[in-house]
A = this chain, B = another copy of it.
Amino acid sequence: MPHTGRTSPGRQLEHPQAAQIRLESVLSALADPVRLRIVSDLAQGHEDMACISFELPVSKSTSTHHFRVLREAGVIRQYYEGTSRMSRLRSQELEECFPGLLEAVLRAQGVQV
């Protein structure tokens, strides 16, 4: 079994506040096949996923990079849980900032919304 259920504090991860999320950065973050796939996977049921559970066609360090881009753009929120880093979409906040945007992108990707 992975962990005991406790949420470890871990190191702090920088996230932009909802009001600081810029459209340009979000679009830029979504304009990459790997990241688009991460977002689709997150939207596809699994609310919280560790980086490892995405089977991405890139190396670990490259994954780290893509997750960081998504996080810094404000698309996902990440937190540590043991040695794993969990990710979840910031759907609600994005909906407030840019209504309909995430939904349109997901729909275009063939994800049930």
Contact = CB atoms under 8 A, between A and B. Distances in A.
Contacts of A32: 24
B33 A30 contact: no
A13 interface: no
Contact of A104 (B28, B31, B98, B109): B98
Nearest to A98: B108
Residues of A in contact with B, size category: 20 to 34
B97 A101 contact: no
Contact of A105 (B27, B31, B97): B27
A30 B27 CA distance: 7
A36 interface: yes
B33 A108 contact: no
A104 B24 CA distance: 13
